[in-house]
Amino acid sequence: MRKRKIFWGIFFIMMAMIVVASKIGILPDVGVFSLLATVFLVWMAADGVRHRNFYEMLFAVAFLCIIYDGPLEIEALTPWTVLAAALLLSIGLSLLFGGKKERKHGIEFEWDSDGVRGIGNSSEQCSGEQIRCENTFGSAIRYIHSDNFCKARLENNFGSMTIYFDNAVIQGGTATVKVDNNFGETVLYIPKEWKVHNELEHVFGSVNEHGKSVGSSSAELCLKGETNFGNIEIYYV
């Protein structure tokens, strides 16, 4: 909740600053859509710097260049040259400065303190007690295989992410899934036998449940997080 308040507080403060700056001539006059996109892309670039995610960082800058190609006088470079440069730079910088990676059975993972983070736009299997899945500007499917599932952090930006939990086992009584969905769709397939506590929030988006949790087992799942300008779909299977 605190993270959500901080995000939206900064969001509206930046909107106010950009509106004032555009009206007094410091920045070019922008429309409502460009204003919303600018604030979000600036936040996205900052988030990319914080997490050392070069794709998130550079594509945010690329889209800002596309929005303001007129004032910047770079119309000859937008959109494809800028996007291609962002992609090539992201790949190059990720290869040079990316985290430690390990390949198992043809599936690439990146290990961090939170567990496993799937990389790429493909169908992958993730295992472990703590799992982290991220997707930006793409489509990703993750199958969670765990004999002692405890925690998952899911982050989806400008894309589509589908997560299957039907092969996960909760041994410790309660597990937590934290979802951050921005300008995209996250789909969760959850065993209907689990007792699910849905604490997901939405801003300019929706959280939809299909079917219902029967709660016939002792396993409990707590869903936390939020969706901004997107939707989260929950299917009980």
3-state secondary structure the chain: CHHHHHHHHHHHHHHHHHHHHHHCCCCCCCCHHHHHHHHHHHHHHHHHHHHCCHHHHHHHHHHHHHHCHHHHCCHHHCCHHHHHHHHHHHHHHHHHHCCCEEEECCEEEEEECCEEEECCCCEEEECCCEEEEEEECCEEEEEEEECCCCEEEEEEECCEEEEEEEEECCCCCEEEEEEEEECCEEEEEECCCCEEEECCEEECCEEEEECCCCCCCCCEEEEEEEEECCEEEEEEC
In angstroms, the CA 22 to CA 236 distance is 48
**At a CB cut-off of 8 Å and minimum separation 6, what does 178 contact?**
151, 152, 153, 154, 224, 225
Distances (CA, A) of 20 to 61, 77, 158: 22, 29, 28
- Across the range 20-28, mean pLDDT stands at 70
Query: 112 falls in which pLDDT band (50, 70, 90)?
Result: very low
For the entire predicted model, the pTM comes to: 0.59
pLDDT tens track for 119-163: 444 567 777 788 988 887 778 899 998 899 999 999 888 789 999
The Cα–Cα gap between 134 and 119 comes to: 7
Q: Say whether pLDDT at 116 is over 50.
A: no
193 — pLDDT class (breaks 50, 70, 90): very high
pLDDT tens profile 25-69: 666 666 767 777 887 788 778 777 776 778 888 998 999 999 888
* pLDDT value of position 113: 35
Over residues 76-93, the mean pLDDT reads 90
